[in-house]
Amino acid sequence: MYKKTILENGLRIITHPMKRMQSAALGIWIKVGGRYETPDYKGIAHFLEHLAFKGSKKYSCRRIKESIEGVGGSLNGFTSEELTCYLVKLPNLHLGLALDVLSDMVINPILHPEEIGKERTVIQEEIKMYKDLPQSYVYELLDELLWPNQPLGMTIIGTVESISRINKENLSLFKNQYYVPSNIVVSAAGLLEHNKFTNRIRNIFSSLKSRNVSTFLRVKEEQHQPQLKLLHKDTEQTHLALGFHSFRRDHPLRYALGLLHIILGANMSSRLFNELREKRGLAYEIGTQVKYFQDTGAFIVHAGIDNRKVNESVKLILKELEKAKHKLISIDEFKRAKEFYLGQLALSLEETLDNMLWIGESTATLDEVYSLKDITKKINKIRREDIRKVADYIFQEKSLNLALIGPFKDSEQSLYSQLKARLR
């Protein structure tokens, strides 16, 4: 199903040929992101990703977009804590064009001073925009609690101050340090032939030399008591993000954690959705999220809550987390969670773009790719007791972190006193 080749210079190629598809999706992944940065130059990985779209040696900014969109394709990129990705989806006949465009963006971005200046302003406005969106900004406050004074606890996009000091020399040095073959994965899925695709990549990348790449600092997690961060803002509802330190990306219990996420907050059948929205009408939006990194992770509950009922809502959320620690889930709920996990994964893997993202991220982070069959076996080995064990390990009072944005009347100390000792 999946085919992998490693070039002599260390660049990894992973494909999933899908014979019945008319499309192809391509991604070039660089193993670098927000947590590789220093505080003084926070946001440089994201800044560089933006600038790659502003013109390369062979393609102007306009030609980059027109080349892909002119054949019916779509072009995008993103920067996360540990990865940067440039991606395209288009009719399979034009896969060679997509590879030529993306590779030139990655290898030969122009980094013109005028474009750097313009994009600096764009990103600074983006930073301001997120601060004006409490439903997004509350996650930044939570990250600061989870990983204080560490790159992982700082926003990927950077600050107005850090973006102000990044110049062409900084960007060039950063690119030369991390955009090297041994730090790159090229993934593709759709109607393609692996050997032909690999030869094209070899022709483009084989002349590039690899060198050692510095990695990120491992996180320090020394939390000994619950933490609360409030931001007073005149909003129509209170935005909440509650988080606990959790498992790293390859932890043996990560699939049990995935089922716990489904049971508590991944869909409209979940416990939190049912208790807070359906039964009591306390929130419109309520759910959970799981973050995985190389050396750590986080389990997050997020919600938009009636301003008058923050304490009641938090109390109910903690009650549901507490219940998961001490009581086995029902056989029926367990079965539905497993079916939802595998069903959602199967549906996503019908699509070329999701397949490309799946195999690319897995190869870049774990250097392996599990098939749906592999994961089905792992899910079927999980017991109900494993889910209770995961909940008991993660949901500890000392590890509780709560970020809130809203028009609070109570002081932070008053709210903290009310919340402390709810998780035992």
Q: What residue spans define the domains of the chain?
A: 3-205, 227-419
Backbone angles phi, psi at 243, to 5 degrees: -140, 150
Best CATH choice for the domain 227-419 from the list 3.90.1170.50, 3.30.830.10, 3.20.20.70, 3.40.50.620: 3.30.830.10
Whole-angstrom distance, CA of residue 85 vs CA of residue 14? 14
pLDDT at 407: 93
pLDDT at 263: 98
Mean pLDDT (10-residue bins), the chain, 424 residues: 96 96 97 96 98 98 98 98 98 98 98 97 96 96 97 96 97 97 98 97 94 89 92 95 98 98 98 97 96 98 94 94 97 98 95 97 97 96 98 95 89 66 50
Using CA atoms of 310, 316, 321, 326 in order, give the dihedral in degrees to the nearest 10: 150
pLDDT at 419: 63
Tokens 């991606």 locate to 87
CB contact at 8 A, 84 and 49: yes
Q: Which residues are catalytic?
A: 49
pLDDT at 195: 97
Residue 20's Cβ-side half-sphere holds a number of Cα atoms within 13 Å equal to 2
pLDDT at 15: 98
Q: What is the DSSP string of 258-272?
A: HHHHHHHHSSTTSHH
pLDDT at 265: 98
Burial of 418 from C-beta contacts in 10 A (0-12 / 13-18 / 19+): middle
Distances in Å between the Cα of 275 and the Cα atoms of 241, 314, 361, 411 are 17, 12, 35, 27
Backbone angles phi, psi at 229, to 5 degrees: -130, 125
pLDDT at 235: 95
pLDDT at 410: 66
Whole-angstrom distance, CA of residue 13 vs CA of residue 5? 5
* pTM (two decimals): 0.95
Backbone angles phi, psi at 239, to 5 degrees: -100, 130
CB contact at 8 A, 92 and 21: yes
pLDDT at 291: 98
Whole-angstrom distance, CA of residue 23 vs CA of residue 192? 9
pLDDT at 248: 97
Domain 3-205 has CATH 3.30.830.10: yes
CB contact at 8 A, 111 and 105: no
pLDDT at 211: 86
